[in-house]
Amino acid sequence: GNSVTQMEGPVTLSEEAFLTINCTYTATGYPSLFWYVQYPGEGLQLLLKATKADDKGSNKGFEATYRKETTSFHLEKGSVQVSDSAVYFCALVNQAGTALIFGKGTTLSVSS
């Protein structure tokens, strides 16, 4: 079956630190991969996506590269801000899929 595994949180960083949140997946064929972000009290917002191997998705300083050889889609940011504090979800849709499949989410807390 299809599944997404994210690193356990919470991740606690100081402002301007480097961020990595690991995500690996299991899927048939060539899934599309996504990162969503959920700020407190809100729904999920699409952060970035990649639809084929070696694609790099990027948005708001965040990046993730679709690595088929390691079935990974790790989220990175070079310098986090307090406003990046949120829950981050890795997700996939496989080629024959009907809906997004999510990981458990990773809570990021950034302090000044």
Partner 1 sequence: ETGVTQTPRHLVMGMTNKKSLKCEQHLGHNAMYWYKQSAKKPLELMFVYNFKEQTENNSVPSRFSPECPNSSHLFLHLHTLQPEDSALYLCASSTRPGENYGYTFGSGTRLTVV
CA-based radius of gyration for the chain:
13
Distance of CA 44 to the CA centre of its chain: 12
Q: Which of 25, 34, 62, 66 binds partner 1 (CB under 8 A)?
A: 34
CB 19 within 8 A of CB 75: yes
State which residue, 84 or 103, has the beta carbon closest to partner 1: 103
Binding residues with partner 1: total (CB under 8 A): 25
Question: Which residues, 6 or more positions from 25, have their beta carbon under 8 angstroms from its beta carbon?
Answer: 2, 3, 4, 5, 31, 33, 71, 72, 73, 90, 92
State which residue, 14 or 45, has the beta carbon closest to partner 1: 45
Q: Which stretch binds partner 1 (CB under 8 A): 14-22, 31-39, 66-74, 77-85?
A: 31-39
In the complex, the residues that contact partner 1 under the rule CB under 8 A are: 4, 32, 34, 36, 41-46, 49, 51, 89, 93-94, 96-105
